Amino acid sequence: MRVIACGTGMPTTRAAQAAACFLVELGNGDKFIFDIGSGSAERLSSLQIPYDFLDKIFIGHLHADHFGSLAEIFIGGALMGRQKPLRIWGPNGPVPELGTAYAVEKMQEMYTWDLSGRVGIVDFRGYSIEVNEFDYTVENAVIYEDNGVTIRSFPAIHALDGPVSFSLAWNDLKFIFGSDTYPNKWFIKYAQDADIAIHECFVAVPDLVAKMGFTPDSALMVGTQVHTAPEAFGKVMSAIKPRMAVAYHFFKDFDTTPAVNDRIRTTYDGPLSLAEDFMVWNVTKDNIRVRMAVVEEATWSPPLVGTPQAPGGNHDRQIFSESAGVPMDAMLYSDFIIGGRWAGVDEVLRGIYKDASETLGQEFPYPADQENQGN
């Protein structure tokens, strides 16, 4: 089992740390994403993994710092080669409006213009989402089981009803991801004996005041009641005794990390990683190695798994029109806009088509010469 931190930060964005996201890769070839916080899509792309393998996302709760990059992996992931729907697992809420299905449906609606401009002219298989919403009150119930991998959910305590934590079991190894939670009895019970247990650990209260401008009252509330204080993180880990405890959800700077570490060490003396982006844990039964990934920041699309399909044209537009409620003719340029094309570039663009036809030994007709100019 290999775990890669693709986001370890906070809701306030910074280039040095994306928000919550952990990738789990298994020796059977399966890969699972846990949370997809703001900025994490760039981290995932830096790993250069074919996007067909990045199709399963488990969302612990619906704060932006835990699913803010969903649109980027949905649309950008399809553009970079995912040839199948994105699959999402996440909790319901006390009412439908607070559940994962609602959030994902509204996100797709928000991108109606974006999708309307792509449908018909690209391989559209990657531009859909399958949502698997489950009951947030289930205690250690199986929400995913395939290929020897079992993923379970149990409740978390954070902001509102709805948040959950996850466990993943494979090949006699146990991975735990807390997402965000106040220390709770379910985590103590179901994370027992984890090989690797990831739990939030917030910035120490004095630094919330000094660095983030919190008032002492709000620093105490957010740093100890809404989130898990470092001292409380240590208590949790002392109770569950993982082979590796991973603390995340704090800004890991030279002047704030010592406080987090020292406070954890008042209550926990076991194996500990203070996570930062691109930290990697290789987990076997004998050993856990912690290293930093070497990544490609100037990313292009990774290799494809399957062969791309030809664009679906009006066939795809018809299907999208029915589901999104956008009329067919609104998915093409109007005569008004086509009439605004500047003919001054016609000659150079024709030259590009001519060059491609000659170089590749295949006829590429120039679009303006075609019957239906479309877009």
Tell me which stretch binds Zn ion (CB under 5 A): 175-183, 201-209, 281-289, 335-343.
Answer: 175-183
Nearest to Zn ion of 53, 102 (CB atom) = 102
> Among all chains, which residue has been given the structure tokens 């956008």?
326
CB atoms within 10 A of CB 279: 21
In this structure, are residues 70 and 57 in contact, taking their beta carbons and an 8 Å threshold?
A: yes
Cα 311 to Cα 308: distance, rounded to the nearest angstrom: 9
Nearer CB in complex with Zn ion: 25/180 = 180
To Zn ion, the closest distance from the beta carbon of 46 in angstroms equals 22
3-state DSSP call for residue 344? helix
Nearer to Zn ion, 120 or 163 (CB): 163
Binders in 208-227 for Zn ion, by CB under 5 A: none
Q: Which residues, 241 to 300, sit near Zn ion by CB under 5 A?
A: none
Contact 40, 21 (CB under 8 A): yes
Least Å from the CB of residue 65 to Zn ion: 4
| Residues in 55-74 at the binding interface with Zn ion, rule: CB under 5 A | 63, 65
Cβ proximity to Zn ion: between 56 and 63 the closer is: 63
In DSSP notation, 16-75 reads TB-SSEEEEE-TTS-EEEE---TTHHHHHHHTT--GGG--EEE-S---HHHHTTHHIIII
52, 180, 207, 231: which one binds Zn ion (CB under 5 A): 180
Residue 239 CB, nearest approach to Zn ion (Å) = 22
Determine, following the binding rule CB under 5 A, whether residue 35 of this chain makes contact with Zn ion.
no
Which residues neighbour 242 within 8 Å (Cβ) at sequence distance 6 or greater?
176, 191, 193, 194, 195, 196, 197, 270, 271
Compute the least distance from the CB of residue 17 to Zn ion, in Å.
Answer: 12
Q: Name the site residues for Zn ion (rule: CB under 5 A).
A: 63, 65, 180
